[in-house]
Amino acid sequence: NAGVTQTPKFQVLKTGQSMTLQCAQDMNHEYMSWYRQDPGMGLRLIHYSVGAGITDQGEVPNGYNVSRSTTEDFPLRLLSAAPSQTSVYFCASAYGDTEAFFGQGTRLTVV
Amino acid sequence: AQTVTQSQPEMSVQEAETVTLSCTYDTSENNYYLFWYKQPPSRQMILVIRQEAYKQQNATENRFSVNFQKAAKSFSLKISDSQLGDTAMYFCAFMLSIYNQGGKLIFGQGTELSVKP
């Protein structure tokens, strides 16, 4: 049982490049979400999904796209990377009102 | 909108001592959950303790306990007999207990705790 798996763990991008952060969970959780962690700001919600085919914006969605074609996968796409998107990104999944389970995070640097 | 505030960016405690981390929140809702997550240097987010707002009894997990004051909208974490492995960033988080809000957390800014030998 792997839980929530994020790839890659580290990434360096040039400004303007695009990329996809992968997230997969094997717990059959209905809810999945993406957060970014910045110093002094805690974790902030980027996008959220309540099930396959259903996504919604969080607090800081600009510059990011998501889709959820299966229960297991919830990729986060950076359309045109900017230095302001330098951050640590976390994917999480949850079932009902239980705790959220987090992946190990991706440290992204945009130069 | 809900907000969570942790007013202590950094704290330190001697090994074996007790430390309390503060958290306040703001909401107009009555049904919600509160959490404390621990993030050690490995970056992994680990659930420490969870409190349901409808429960008056404070949650406890071994050396970790909370003081939940619903009227004051306060949710502090007490760590007893601090250990070196408790050194980490601690986040307070809020989640509404309504349909389709599962896993949708609002986090505080975090408190960096150092346990000194």
Are A24 and A32 spatial neighbours (Cβ–Cβ below 8 Å)? no
Q: Taking the CB of residue B112, how many other CB atoms lie within 10 A of it?
A: 14
Provide the token pair at B116: 């000194």
Tell me the C-alpha to C-alpha distance, in Å, between residue A69 and each of A52, A73, B103: 5, 7, 19
pLDDT at B24 over 80: yes
Closest partner residue to B44 among A40, A50, A104, by Cβ?
A104
pLDDT at position B97:
84
pLDDT at A98 over 80: no
Averaged over A21-32, what is the pLDDT? Answer: 95
Averaged over A22-30, what is the pLDDT? Answer: 95
Query: In angstroms, what separates the C-alpha of A39 from chain B's closest C-alpha?
Result: 8
pLDDT at position B56:
86
- Chain B residues touching A104 at Cβ < 8 A: 42-44
pLDDT at position A2:
77
**In this predicted model, what pLDDT tens digit does every residue of A48-93 receive, in sequence order?**
999 999 999 999 999 999 999 999 999 999 999 999 999 999 999 9
**In this predicted model, what pLDDT tens digit does every residue of B1-23 receive, in sequence order?**
899 999 999 999 999 999 999 99
pLDDT at A1 over 90: no
pLDDT at position A99:
83
Judge whether A46 is closer than 8 Å to chain B, CB to CB.
Answer: no
User: Which residue did the predictor score with more confidence, A95 or A104?
Assistant: A104
Averaged over A1-24, what is the pLDDT? Answer: 95
pLDDT at A96 over 90: no
pLDDT at position B76:
98
Closest partner residue to B109 among A41, A50, A102, by Cβ?
A41
**In this predicted model, what pLDDT tens digit does every residue of B37-91 receive, in sequence order?**
999 999 999 999 999 999 989 999 999 999 999 999 999 999 999 999 999 999 9
Name the helix (H) or strand (E) containing B95.
strand B88-96
Judge whether A106 is closer than 8 Å to chain B, CB to CB.
Answer: no
Tell me the C-alpha to C-alpha distance, in Å, between residue B75 and each of A64, A111, B5, B101: 33, 39, 10, 20
* A·B CB contacts under 8 A: 65
Please measure the distance between the N-terminal and C-terminal CA atoms of chain A and give it in whole angstroms: 36
Averaged over A22-45, what is the pLDDT? Answer: 95
Contact partners, residue A99, CB within 8 Å, separation at least 6: B35, B47, B50
